[in-house]
Amino acid sequence: MVIMLKKIIATFGLAALFTVTLMNPSLAQEAVENSLFWDYLMQDAASPSAERIHEFHNMLVYIITGITLFVLLLLIIVVLRFNKRANPTPSKTSHNVLLEVLWTALPVVILIIIAIPSFKLLYYVDRTENPEMTLKVTGYQWYWGYEYPEHGDINFMSYMVQDEDIDTEKGQLRLLSTDNPVVLPVNKNIQIDITAADVLHSWAVPALGVKKDAVPGRLNSTWFRITEPGTYYGQCSELCGKDHAYMPIEIKAVSQEEFEEWVLAQGGTLPEPSPAADNHSESTDSIENGDVPESNIEQTPEEADTESEGDE
């Protein structure tokens, strides 16, 4: 009786929650605009890692569906052909070598088929050969700290925007927006170094295909390359204490030019081109520093390339 009552109360509670959400236009509106409401698929991939993770996931869905249908078919056959009425005198067979070899070997083959792309993907998302910049992330109870080691002294803390301070006109989202979003350039291989200062946290941004534990005393790293400008959200994904749910991650992905403007506005510096750098970055950099006379700025084909890359 008590259990039933609890069930009824829970059902009504859910229904009430649903109604409140529907009847609060701003909540519903916000949810629809950000495709969060009743959204059950993965967020759109915004990095090559996320794209590959989704492809791998889709492949697994095909395999799992095939296995499930096959087992269902076997069950149906057993139920129809070997029930008491259809098969009154059961066979006494207890061994079948061929069958036993098959049902051992086939799953192994299937696992190998899954393991090969799985390991490929693991190594792909693990690190990038040639990172173009580094972001250092530190998890605290209960906020994130960010540092840009190659861009001067930029470092800041990023706290969640409290409910009462949410500014919907700025597109801020409850539980996801932060006071200091991370700003990163698109189309750059960005190495992410992740650690924590107190307890375990985990830095996760689904659209970028990143989830990495932040461990005190240990530096984990991963990477991504953001393919689309925009705002990406993530959350701490390792239970870290009472405000675990209130330390979101907000990334603003912008063009290289906007990123450089932001760096300078933060009092940071732009990295010197390394000696190994090709003419590309050298010419770009010296122009930014005003070293090159006006007449030289317009034309080099490399320049045109760089610009069109930036616009994509």
The per-residue DSSP string of 207-218 comes to GGTEEEEE-BT-
Name the segment binding Cu ion (CB under 5 A); options: 3-11, 64-72, 236-244, 266-274.
Answer: 236-244
Of 53, 184, 226, 240, the one binding Cu ion (CB under 5 A) is: 240
Q: Which is nearer to Cu ion, 179 or 260 (CB)?
A: 179
* C-alpha closest to that of 234 among 211, 259, 214, 253: 211
* Rounded least distance, CB 240 to Cu ion, Å: 3
Name the segment binding Cu ion (CB under 5 A); options: 78-86, 97-105, 179-187, 232-240.
Answer: 232-240
* Rounded least distance, CB 80 to Cu ion, Å: 53
Name the segment binding Cu ion (CB under 5 A); options: 85-93, 186-194, 243-251, 276-284.
Answer: 243-251
**Which residues on neighbouring strands pair with residue 195, listed in sequence order?**
138
DSSP state of 178: B
Q: Which is nearer to Cu ion, 186 or 236 (CB)?
A: 236
* Rounded least distance, CB 200 to Cu ion, Å: 7
* Rounded least distance, CB 155 to Cu ion, Å: 19
How far from the centroid of its chain's Cα atoms is residue 95's Cα? 49
DSSP state of 290: T
* Rounded least distance, CB 247 to Cu ion, Å: 5
Q: By CB under 5 A, tell whether 135 contacts Cu ion.
A: no
Number of residues that bind Cu ion (CB under 5 A): 4
Q: Which two tokens stand for residue 117?
A: 């792309």
Q: Which is nearer to Cu ion, 136 or 244 (CB)?
A: 244
Q: By CB under 5 A, tell whether 160 contacts Cu ion.
A: no
* Rounded least distance, CB 213 to Cu ion, Å: 10
Q: CB burial class (10 A; 0-12, 13-18, 19+) of residue 46?
A: buried
Residue 234 near residue 248, CB atoms below 8 Å = yes
The per-residue DSSP string of 42-110 comes to PPPP-SHHHHHHHHHHHHHHHHHHHHHHHHHHHHHHHHHHSSTTT-SS-------HHHHHHHHHHHHHH
* Rounded least distance, CB 236 to Cu ion, Å: 3
Q: Which two tokens stand for residue 148?
A: 């840009």
* Residues between 190 and 219 with contacts to Cu ion, criterion CB under 5 A: 201
Q: Which is nearer to Cu ion, 102 or 219 (CB)?
A: 219
Q: Which is nearer to Cu ion, 50 or 236 (CB)?
A: 236
Q: By CB under 5 A, tell whether 251 contacts Cu ion.
A: no
Residues whose CB is less than 8 angstroms from the CB of residue 241 and which lie 6 or more positions away in sequence, other chains included: 141, 142, 199
Binding footprint of Cu ion on the chain (CB under 5 A): 201, 236, 240, 244
